[in-house]
Every structure is written in C-alpha cells, then in structure tokens.
Chain A
Amino acid sequence: MKRTIINTAAIVALGVTSVFADLDLEKDELKFGFIKLTDCAPLVIAKEKGFFEDEGIQAEVIAQPNWKTLLDNVINGNLDGAHMLSGQPIAATIGIGTQADVITAFTMDLNGNGITVSNAIWEEMQFNDPDLDTPTPKHPISAKGLKPIVDEKLDAGEKLQMGMVFPVSTHNYELRYWLAASDIHPGMYTESDTGGRTDAQVELSVTPPPMMPTVLEAGNIQGYCVGEPWNQQAVAKGIGVPVTTNYDVWKNNPEKVFGVTKEWNAANPNTHIAVVKALIRAGKWLDEKDADGNFVNREEAVRILSQPNYVGADYDVIKNSMTGTFIFQKSDVRKMPEFNVFFDHYATYPWYSDGIWFLTQMRRWGQITESKPASWYFDTVQKVYQPDIYLQAATLLLEEGLIENSDVPWNTDGYKPATTEFIDGVEYDGRDPIGYINSHKIGNKDAEGLASK
C-alpha cells in the first residue's frame, strides 16, 4: 500500500508539470468503449491513474453491452476507440461481418482466457481418464478425455454444444484449436454456413460472456471458452470446472487490442499517439514487479476494476487471476503469474505475426472462404497493425524518461521468432502463413505454391 500523503504533497509543491506541450492534440475529450472483462485494465488504469490526464486527455470509459455493439459504436463515431478482440480490426478490414477500416497500434494483453466444462462433463472426463481424477491433475489438459464423450453423443445423434463469445474472437479460435488438437472437429465456416457448424462434431455458438455461467447451468451448452472473471465465476458458483487456460493452448498468445478507425486516426494522429502513450504507461504500471517478482500494483488495479462502472465483479473473484492465481477446482489452486500479461515480453507492441496468426485461423476455419497468396497476408496485416504509431509514442515516453530503452523492441521487423509452444506442438512462423495453415490436420488447406506468391 503506497498511499502516502507525502507523495501527493510533493506533487503540489512542485506545481503541475504539463506533459502535453509536445503533442498538438486534435481532440481532448475522448470516449472509449470496453467490455466488462479484466483485460480492459490498461484503459481503465490509464484513466484512473491519470495517465490520460497527463497527456491532456479527458477520457470517458464506457461499458458496452457486447462486441458487436462496441464495434458498431467505434465505426459510427459514438466512440473514439475501444478495447477490442484481436480478430475484430482484422475481420472488419477484410469484411468478415461489418466492413470498416479499423486499425490498431497497441496490444492490450496476452493470455487471460480459460476453457470451462460443466461438472457433468468433467466427471465423465475423469472417468475416461483416471489421471484427471485427482485433486490436482497434471496440466495441460487436452481434449482427449472429451473425445469419447463427443463420440458417444454423436452415436446418440446429438452434438456436444459449447459457447464462445464472438465469431472472430480469440476464444473461438482457441476453443477450436484445443478441440482440433485432440481430433475433435469443431466445424467449418462456409459461404452458406456463417454459423461455422459444417461437419462439426462439437457445435460452437456465440454467447455473451456474462451469460456463459447461466447458460452452462441451464444445460444449453456443456462448456465454453471465455475471458476472466467468467471462468472463476463458474468455480465460485460451483457449476463448472476450468480445464485449461489459453496459456496452455498457446503460451503468451495475443488477446485484446486497442482499436480505432483508420479515418479517426487520419483526423487525430497526435491524439492517437497520446492515447497510446498513456496506454503503454498503464501496461507498464500493471506489470510492475518488486525484487521478488511479485506484482506491486495489481491489488490496487483489482480494487479499481471491481468498481461497478468498470468490470464490477467482486473484488475477491477478480483478484484470483489478476494477482496470478487461478482456481481450477476448489481443491486445485495454482500459481499462474502469467495468466494476464500486460507489458512483459513486449506484450503491448503490435506484432505483425500476431495479426497473421488470426488471419491463418480465419482461413483454417473457412471464414476467409478462398485461398490467398502469402503476400495477401502480409499486406492485410500491415493495413491493420500500426507499429509506427506505437514506436512514436514509445520514443516520446523514452525521452520523458517514463519507460526504459529495453521496454520496446525498437529494431524488430514485426515478426516474433517461430514458436512451438502450442498444446499440440505445431510450429508457427508468421513469415510462412500458408505453410502453417497446411500443417494442421483439421481445417482448410491451401496450395503450396501460394506460399511464395
């Protein structure tokens, strides 16, 4: 608790320094939208800790009812920018769903989702795989134990139903990835099937995050993939068991971004840089650690997030995941310090390779209906991801001494090194999207020749 009066007194004594002399803001009263999930933290913190005010911005941070409305509000100008699913700016740009040019210069966080199944399914999974039937089963848990249940249901002429939050959400792709890694077909999107259920062995449907536990309890779905606090809620209410987190599906995967329209960016370039500056500081503040590697500011962040106009869930529920513990079962409380990453591993930088991963998943599952050459992937991601803006903001912050030189990947080409840290160990290299699409057993395949085009 560093709530010392001395600090604030010092500020008064020094007078108020104006930081925003450098940037000519085109607009200083901004409205940002967010969805009530803990990973909206950078936006909320930038407001509540005064990082926006330091830039001369008066920001209003407004809860949105669902991802669709949030995107619509950004596109029609009700909002200046918003906390978005990584897939949203990409999908909007290439015209999946609402077509609009939405860009991003800031990644809000890594990880932060979980896959939860109902108690009944968990029991059957335990029965199928006795290794799971201990108070603390070994992780990561694959969907292998789920396979016999799926088959049994199929024999009975039924399909297991699972929920995710939005067709182009990370949750959708993660859930599909997890299922497909254990040879369960989650269904394909086709031109005529925008619900993504063609050939499905498990049917996925869209459910808004706050409805997940309720719908699970009602038995309409048997499992779901969603962000926090909705997995911990299921445990707290005793209606489901989180079997895995997306940290296990893909270690340190990109999750949410801060999106604005291209038009807005063109009209307010300096304001955009100022906003990104404030967000970078918020990210850094959230991930600040003491010498022992414990988060310094997370408890305060949780206190702020649990206010009813922000995430609003109970302090003790949000606290779990945000301070690095995750409750899988009442008997299974684990340390997961990287459940939410807001700054480490260059988390806030808008990596091209992250954008390309989402594009490959959209192609893999048929949301992108036709084959595209590799160059199309590179061009598209460069339309959406704007590291230039990020680097301008970072340069200013460095000059002001608010971040370290080592906080920013200054000389990267925007592609993370190839990684195999997936639940099935398949290698992903953002420079070879076609090869990656073809390396999966389930899903669309493209002609090899496209890789060099």
Chain B
Amino acid sequence: MKFKILKALDVAGLQVFDPVVRLICGENPPEQVRKILLFIGVPIVTFIVFLGVWTYLAPRHTTKAGEVPTPGVVKSAADGIWTFHVRENQKATDFLLEGDAREAALTAVEARIAELEPLAAAAKVKLDELDAAAKAKIDAEAAPLQEQYKEMRKTSRDENKATKAALIAEADKLPVNDAAARDAFLAKVAAFDLKQEADKQAQKDFKAKIDAAYTTKFPEMEAVRSEYNGYEEELQYLSKRLDYLTGDNQSLKIAGESTELNELEATFLTAEGGKATFAAAEKVLKKQEAITRISDSEYSRPWTFPRQIARSVWCVFVGFFIGTAIAVPLGVVCGLSRVCMAALTPLIALFKPVSPIVWLPIVFIIVGGFISDPELAPVHPAFLSSAITVALCSLWPTLVNTALGVASVEKDHVNVARVLRLGFFSRLFKIVLPSALPLIFAGLRISLGVGWMVLIAAELLSSSEGIGKFVWDMFNNGSSQTFAQMFVVVFVVGAVGLLLDRIMIVLQRSVSFDGAPTAI
C-alpha cells in the first residue's frame, strides 16, 4: 500500500509529499519531519515572506497610474471577477426559469431590492454630505492659496517689470567702450535672469502646494463611495434579473406568443375569402416560427474570466496537438535520414526564433482565406489562428528533440534490428520510437510550456476569447481595478502553466523506463 502510494506520488511528480506518507506510516519519524520541514515548511515560509514583503512594499510605490496593489486588493479584484461570472450565470439561469422556480426567484429578488434600496439611499445621502464637506474643505484650503498665488505672481511680475525698466534705463546711460562698466551691467542682467528663474520656480512650487490641496484624500468618503457603488451595482444587477424573470423571460415570452397564436388560429379557422384566409394562414405560420425562435434562443452571455480560462486551455491543447502532429513525424524523418536533416536544418534554424507577434497576422490572413463566412465555420477563425500560432511557435523543441532522440538510438539496438531483418515499420515502432520516447516527451513538455506563454500574446492580438483578451480588455478599461486584475492574471496563468507542466511530467515519467530524473 505504502509503496503504491509512494510510486504514484513519484510518477505524478509530487515527491514533496513523500515524507508525509512515510511519516504517517511511521517510518523513521525524525528523518521524515526534517524532510517535511525542508520540502514543505520552507516553501510555505518563503511564500509567506513573499506576501509580507509584497504587502510592505506595494503601498510604498505609488505612480500616477495608480498604486501597486497589495495582496488584499488583488484578492478583492479576484472576488470582483468571480462576482461578475456568478451574476452573468445567474442571469442566464433566470432567462430559462419557469413556473414556481421563477416565482420563487422573483420574490427573492424583489425582497433583496426592497432591502437594498433604503441602504443605497442612505449611503447616497451620506456620500453627498461627505462630498460637500470635502469640497468645502478643499475650497477653504485652496482659495486663500489661490489668492496668495495670484498676489505672488503679480508682485513678481511687477518687480521684474520694474527691474527690467531700470536696467534698460541704466543701459541707456552706459558709456561706450567702458569694459568695466559693461561687465558690471552684464552681471546685473545675469542676476536679473536668475531672479526671474527663481521666481518661476517658486511659483511652480507654490502651485504644487495648491495641487496637493486639491488632491487631498478623504478615506471616509471613499469608503462610503465604494459602499454606495456596491449597493447600486447590485441593484443594477437585480433590476436586470427582474427583466429576465419577467418580461424577458423565455417561458413568459413563449406563453405570450402562444396566446397570440391561439387567437390567430381561431381567426384562421373562421376566416372567409381567399385573400383573408391566406393572410391569416401566413400569420399563423409566422407566429409559430417566432415561437420556435424564442424557444431556441439563449441568453447572450458575455465571456467571463473562468470561461475564458477554459477556452485558453482548450486553445493551447488544440495548438499543441497541431504542433505535435507536425513536429514528431518531421523529427523522426530528420533523425532517420541525414539528407533530410541537412535539408531542414537551415529552415528550422530560420523559423525557430520568430516571435508569435509576427506569425499571427500571417496566419490570420491565411486562415481567413479558407473561411469566407465565420458564421458557418465550425471553429472561429480567431481561435484557429491563435491555435496555429501556438503550434508554429511551440513545435520546435519537440522537432529538435525528436530528431535528436531518433538519431541517437543505440548502435547495438540498430544492429540487432539488422540481424533480425526487421522491416522499416517494425524497426521504427519496435526500436527507434521506444528508445526516442523520453527525449520526445521532454521536447513536448517544453513545447507545451512555450505554447502556453505564446497563447496569451496571440489571443491578445487576435482578440480570440481567452485570457489574452481578458488582459487587453481589462487594460483598456483603465479602471481602479485594472492593476490588481493584472496580478490576478499573473497567478492564474502561473497556476495553469504549472498544472500543464505537471501533466507533462506525469506523461514523461510514464514513458521513461530508466527513471530519468526530471527538473522541478
């Protein structure tokens, strides 16, 4: 049992939990505790230290674009993203609700609205008060400063004007060719210039003070504001839910249309005269069509982050499989034949370093040529383009590793195959590929990692739904949440990438018979 678990952990690349299992089984506790501390305790401590440093440093670095978010802010941004997802799902559900479930939801929503409205109103009143107070305070502070500034500027202007006039008057009387007097005058003019500069600087500094007065922060007001905004946002969401539970609800719409259909059918049954009957028949058919259309309709849900993540993962796998399907056969051919290797080496070397940003527009044009009507295409062209870009950028490690693996099959094995007079395909599948597999999988693992990194950039450019599009959209929002949302993306991308890598490690280990070590 114990060894089975240990073996499983080993294959899954989760050796860090090895000591835990051993400890539970009572094997040499002090040694295991030491290992646990080292392999589990130390990383946890490091992570906590990392969070601590982050929490400490973040508020100390403020740019005009905003503050670096602390872990708490990032958490709340993540919550916001999640809330949006949940709410959109709720709306989609509401659209389809019927019967008692709809009634119940409606009551709940109405109750919540009744609960929130007074809260929102109260918050609004408080906010207005605080806002007025803040404005008054700023004005009280800034107005005298503004006056002072005006005074200061005027004095400086008048003084400078007077000085200038005096200097000109003095210059008028300057004796010609008197070098000493002229030098003295030059010094005076220089001093005047300096004074002007100094005045300008003083005014600038003073203005900064005024600006500071205007940018005074009122934490209490901000707190009330965000509270009020929270209420109003929820109310907005609830009012939309009301729509989907009442007028826009699918079942109600169908019910309404059905009543009309019944009336139309009645009219049709009693209609007389060719023209009228025909018209009535057409109306009935049209109504029936409308009903089918409504029952087929879906709530048009915007893409939310969790769905975008799923779509990105799907896209990277599609791209990865396309890449593998090209790279492995090509690698095998290169490994087997020196001529092929020589022929392809320059091409590989040429295309390998090309960035996804360059591939994407090219792929876009080529894919677009095959898909004339995106509505009818089985896959969205932007999705396909992103996947192919991922394939183009990620196939190189697999290709090179496969070629290397195939080329470095042990001579003895090849000789055995010769002796046994194996055919080409038996030789390929019995000897060459099995011994090249570990290297191929090492290549695949790198490829998947590269593909995941490339994908985000590709999605960002192609506006194919996915994490990349989320990044670009949120960046475009430029809201106070944007910065924190980017941090959320960092963690999500990292976590998914880690997961993908682990999957590849498992695969890689399951094909390596010599227990080849894997990097972390």
Contacts from A to B (Cβ < 8 Å):
1, 3, 5, 8-9, 11-12, 15-18, 20-21, 24, 28-29, 36, 48, 50, 53, 56, 58-60, 63-65, 69, 73, 76-78, 123, 127, 130, 133-135, 208-210, 213-214, 217, 229-230, 233, 237-239, 300, 303-304, 306-309, 311-317, 330-331
Q: Knowing A17-B256, A50-B248, A76-B374 touch, does A59 contact B300 (C-beta < 8 A)?
A: yes
The answer for the CA separation of A63 and B475 in the assembled complex, in Å, is 12
Please give, as numbers and ranges, the residues of chain A lying within 8 Å of B210 by CB-CB distance.
331
User: What is the interface size of chain B, counting residues whose CB is below 8 A from a CB of the partner?
Assistant: 69
Please give, as numbers and ranges, the residues of chain B lying within 8 Å of A18 by CB-CB distance.
256-257, 260, 290
Please give, as numbers and ranges, the residues of chain B lying within 8 Å of A65 by CB-CB distance.
460-461, 463, 469, 472, 476
Does B84 belong to the interface (CB within 8 Å)? yes
CB distance from B63 to the nearest CB of A (A): 8
CB pair A78–B381 under 8 Å, yes or no, is yes
The answer for the CA separation of A135 and B214 in the assembled complex, in Å, is 12
Does B110 belong to the interface (CB within 8 Å)? yes
CB distance from A48 to the nearest CB of B (A): 7
Please give, as numbers and ranges, the residues of chain A lying within 8 Å of B318 by CB-CB distance.
none
Partner pick for B253 among A16, A123, A313, CB 8 A cutoff = A16
0/1 string, B373-404, CB within 8 A of A gives 1: 11100000110000000000000000000000
The answer for the CA separation of A36 and B475 in the assembled complex, in Å, is 11
Q: Knowing A59-B300, A76-B368 touch, does A5 contact B476 (C-beta < 8 A)?
A: no
Please give, as numbers and ranges, the residues of chain B lying within 8 Å of A312 by CB-CB distance.
473-474, 476-479
Does B427 belong to the interface (CB within 8 Å)? no
The answer for the CA separation of A190 and B375 in the assembled complex, in Å, is 39
CB distance from B160 to the nearest CB of A (A): 13
Partner pick for A60 among B300, B475, B481, CB 8 A cutoff = B300
Does B148 belong to the interface (CB within 8 Å)? no
Q: Knowing A5-B113, A48-B240, A233-B478 touch, does A315 contact B374 (C-beta < 8 A)?
A: no
Please give, as numbers and ranges, the residues of chain A lying within 8 Å of B461 by CB-CB distance.
65
Known contacts A36-B476, A314-B480, A331-B210; 6 additional CB pairs below 8 A are A69-B463, A213-B65, A213-B478, A217-B65, A237-B65, A331-B214
By beta carbon, the residue of chain A nearest B114 is A5
The answer for the CA separation of A12 and B381 in the assembled complex, in Å, is 42
CB pair B382–A78 under 8 Å, yes or no, is yes
Please give, as numbers and ranges, the residues of chain B lying within 8 Å of A17 by CB-CB distance.
256
CB pair B248–A123 under 8 Å, yes or no, is no
Please give, as numbers and ranges, the residues of chain A lying within 8 Å of B346 by CB-CB distance.
none
Does B286 belong to the interface (CB within 8 Å)? yes
Please give, as numbers and ranges, the residues of chain A lying within 8 Å of B110 by CB-CB distance.
5
The answer for the CA separation of A1 and B373 in the assembled complex, in Å, is 44
Please give, as numbers and ranges, the residues of chain A lying within 8 Å of B372 by CB-CB distance.
77
Please give, as numbers and ranges, the residues of chain B lying within 8 Å of A309 by CB-CB distance.
84, 302-303, 473
The answer for the CA separation of A169 and B204 in the assembled complex, in Å, is 36
The answer for the CA separation of A307 and B232 in the assembled complex, in Å, is 12
By Cβ-Cβ distance, the 8 closest A-B pairs, closest first, are A312-B477, A16-B256, A330-B214, A309-B302, A210-B476, A15-B256, A11-B247, A60-B300
The answer for the CA separation of A330 and B235 in the assembled complex, in Å, is 31
Supply 13 A–B pairs (Cβ within 8 Å), ascending by A: A8-B246, A9-B246, A16-B255, A16-B256, A21-B290, A65-B476, A69-B463, A76-B368, A217-B64, A233-B478, A238-B64, A308-B80, A308-B477
CB pair A313–B64 under 8 Å, yes or no, is no
Q: Knowing A18-B257, A48-B240 touch, does A308 contact B474 (C-beta < 8 A)?
A: yes
Please give, as numbers and ranges, the residues of chain A lying within 8 Å of B255 by CB-CB distance.
15-16
Contacts from B to A (Cβ < 8 Å):
64-66, 80, 84, 110, 113-114, 117, 142, 146, 150, 153, 157, 200, 204, 210-211, 214-215, 225, 229, 232-233, 235-236, 239-240, 242-243, 246-248, 252-253, 255-257, 259-260, 286, 290, 293, 297-298, 300, 302-303, 368, 372-375, 381-382, 460-461, 463, 469, 472-481
By beta carbon, the residue of chain A nearest B207 is A123
CB pair B374–A303 under 8 Å, yes or no, is no
CB distance from A161 to the nearest CB of B (A): 19
CB pair A16–B240 under 8 Å, yes or no, is no
The answer for the CA separation of A135 and B213 in the assembled complex, in Å, is 13
CB pair A313–B256 under 8 Å, yes or no, is no
Please give, as numbers and ranges, the residues of chain B lying within 8 Å of A29 by CB-CB distance.
297, 300
Please give, as numbers and ranges, the residues of chain A lying within 8 Å of B476 by CB-CB distance.
36, 63, 65, 208-210, 312
Q: Knowing A65-B463, A214-B65 touch, does A300 contact B246 (C-beta < 8 A)?
A: no
By beta carbon, the residue of chain A nearest B291 is A18
By beta carbon, the residue of chain A nearest B150 is A134
Q: Knowing A63-B476, A217-B64, A313-B478 touch, does A58 contact B117 (C-beta < 8 A)?
A: no
Q: Knowing A59-B300, A303-B236, A304-B236 touch, does A239 contact B375 (C-beta < 8 A)?
A: no
Please give, as numbers and ranges, the residues of chain A lying within 8 Å of B368 by CB-CB distance.
76
Q: Knowing A76-B368, A330-B214 touch, does A58 contact B478 (C-beta < 8 A)?
A: no
CB pair B248–A53 under 8 Å, yes or no, is yes
CB pair A58–B65 under 8 Å, yes or no, is no
CB pair A316–B463 under 8 Å, yes or no, is no
Please give, as numbers and ranges, the residues of chain A lying within 8 Å of B478 by CB-CB distance.
210, 213, 229-230, 233, 312-313
The answer for the CA separation of A314 and B479 in the assembled complex, in Å, is 5
Partner pick for A313 among B257, B290, B472, B477, CB 8 A cutoff = B477
The answer for the CA separation of A1 and B121 in the assembled complex, in Å, is 10
CB distance from A285 to the nearest CB of B (A): 15
Please give, as numbers and ranges, the residues of chain B lying within 8 Å of A208 by CB-CB distance.
476
CB pair B233–A16 under 8 Å, yes or no, is no
Please give, as numbers and ranges, the residues of chain A lying within 8 Å of B239 by CB-CB distance.
3
CB pair A16–B257 under 8 Å, yes or no, is yes
Please give, as numbers and ranges, the residues of chain A lying within 8 Å of B248 by CB-CB distance.
50, 53
By beta carbon, the residue of chain B nearest A21 is B286
By beta carbon, the residue of chain A nearest B225 is A316
By beta carbon, the residue of chain A nearest B304 is A309
Partner pick for A315 among B229, B257, B290, CB 8 A cutoff = B229
CB pair B117–A77 under 8 Å, yes or no, is no
Please give, as numbers and ranges, the residues of chain A lying within 8 Å of B66 by CB-CB distance.
237
The answer for the CA separation of A60 and B382 in the assembled complex, in Å, is 17
Please give, as numbers and ranges, the residues of chain A lying within 8 Å of B480 by CB-CB distance.
314
Please give, as numbers and ranges, the residues of chain B lying within 8 Å of A213 by CB-CB distance.
65, 478
The answer for the CA separation of A48 and B474 in the assembled complex, in Å, is 20
By beta carbon, the residue of chain B nearest A133 is B153
CB pair A50–B473 under 8 Å, yes or no, is no
By beta carbon, the residue of chain A nearest B240 is A48
CB pair A311–B477 under 8 Å, yes or no, is yes
CB pair B247–A330 under 8 Å, yes or no, is no
Q: Knowing A78-B374, A210-B478, A308-B473 touch, does A58 contact B300 (C-beta < 8 A)?
A: yes
The answer for the CA separation of A237 and B36 in the assembled complex, in Å, is 48
The answer for the CA separation of A130 and B286 in the assembled complex, in Å, is 71
The answer for the CA separation of A134 and B255 in the assembled complex, in Å, is 65
Please give, as numbers and ranges, the residues of chain A lying within 8 Å of B214 by CB-CB distance.
330-331
Please give, as numbers and ranges, the residues of chain A lying within 8 Å of B298 by CB-CB distance.
58
The answer for the CA separation of A303 and B481 in the assembled complex, in Å, is 16
| Residue picked from B246, B255, B368, B480, most chain A C-beta under 10 Å | B246
The answer for the CA separation of A65 and B117 in the assembled complex, in Å, is 37
By beta carbon, the residue of chain B nearest A123 is B204
Q: Knowing A50-B248, A239-B64, A331-B142 touch, does A63 contact B473 (C-beta < 8 A)?
A: yes
CB distance from B361 to the nearest CB of A (A): 11
By beta carbon, the residue of chain B nearest A16 is B256
CB pair B381–A210 under 8 Å, yes or no, is no
The answer for the CA separation of A247 and B484 in the assembled complex, in Å, is 35
Please give, as numbers and ranges, the residues of chain A lying within 8 Å of B290 by CB-CB distance.
18, 20-21, 56
CB pair A15–B259 under 8 Å, yes or no, is yes
The answer for the CA separation of A60 and B481 in the assembled complex, in Å, is 24
| Residue picked from A210, A300, A304, most chain B C-beta under 10 Å | A210
